[in-house]
Amino acid sequence: MVKRKSTPRRGSPTKKSSTRVYRIGNKSFKLRNTTLKHIKKLQMTTASCIPKLPFSRVIREVLQERTGAGEDYRIQLAALAALQEAAELYLVQLFEDANKCAYHARRVTVNPTDMNLALEIRGVNDPGYIKEL
């Protein structure tokens, strides 16, 4: 019996694909290597994702609105760091819940309706404050 030659492979055999295909149900989606590297980098680090200076500006603006224009308060760096850590933790958990809602609807993209549903399940009083685009 004579062996047949296999058909030649397309493309170079040493080049690896630059994308990974993930399947959710019947649908598949691709993540590029740069996206995967960025996700892994963020998961491995303990540094905050939100820059410190813009976050401190937002906190100062909220304090100005709550206390009045005439009063000026100072905030310790440790208090700002604790507020930032708590805010990032809350946002990450909210996005995880919204991602689960999108996955349940057999979607990959998170919509504002997913965020509203996650807030409603959590028991936030007014979940309608995330506006539709």
Residues of the chain with pLDDT under 50: 133
Q: 105: Cβ–Cβ under 8 A, 6 or more apart, which residues?
A: 114
Dihedral sign for Cα 34, 37, 41, 43, please.
positive
pLDDT of residue 117: 92
Q: What is the 3-state secondary structure (H, E, C) of 57-77?
A: HHHHHHHHHHHCCCCCCCCCH
Return the pLDDT at 38.
Answer: 76
User: What is the value of pTM for the model shown?
Assistant: 0.64
pLDDT digits (tens, 9 = 90+) for 37-56: 777 787 788 888 899 999 99
What pLDDT score does 7 carry? 62
pLDDT at 86: 95
Q: Are 18 and 32 in contact (CB under 8 A)?
A: yes
For residue 44, the model assigns a pLDDT of 87
**Spatial distance between the Cα atoms of 95 and 100, rounded to a whole number of angstroms:** 9
